[in-house]
Amino acid sequence: MTIINLKMERLEEMSIRMLYRGILKGAKVYPSKNRAVMFQAIVDDVNDWKKLPKDSTEAKKAIKRMKMLYGHVTMWNEKMVELHDASTDRIDKPLPYKDINNKKDEDFVYF
């Protein structure tokens, strides 16, 4: 089991600072020609989220967005590990994680 797997299993226990650091680390290697723009957008969004009242619904949604972004970046890194694994030629193993964003949650994030 990789370090990434261990962190995703403990996603609910992670502090906001740990999520943010993980997102920034993942964004540095994320495969996109707009990586620098994406990185700056993440920094700007988090700076905006810091200004929200701590117990508001908007703050809960912001934390959920961070968890979703962390999951996305982590998924990318995990798939790259799987892709470079010489023991298989398939890259379709599902990741064993639950969905972070559920419609029944009061802090459901619409895209």
Domain ranges of the chain: 3-83
Residues 20-62: tens digit of each pLDDT: 898 888 888 777 788 888 889 989 998 888 888 888 888 888 8
- Give the pLDDT score at 40: 92
Q: 78 — phi, psi (to 5°)?
A: -65, -40
Query: Which of 8-17, 56-65, 72-81, 97-106 ranks highest by mean pLDDT?
Result: 56-65
Identity at 84, one-letter amino acid code: H
Query: Which of 25-34, 73-82, 87-96 ranks highest by mean pLDDT?
Result: 25-34
Determine the Cα–Cα distance for residues 2 and 11; give it in Å rounded to an integer: 15
In angstroms, the first-to-last Cα distance of the chain is: 31
Residue 110 pLDDT > 70: no
Query: Which tokens hold the place of 80?
Result: 């790259």
The confidence band for 1, taking pLDDT boundaries of 50, 70 and 90, is very low
User: Does the pTM of the predicted model rise above 0.75?
Assistant: no
Between helices 35-49 and 16-29, what is the axis angle to 10°? 170
Residue 107 pLDDT > 90: no
The percent helix, strand, coil of the chain (3-state, each to 5) is 60, 0, 40
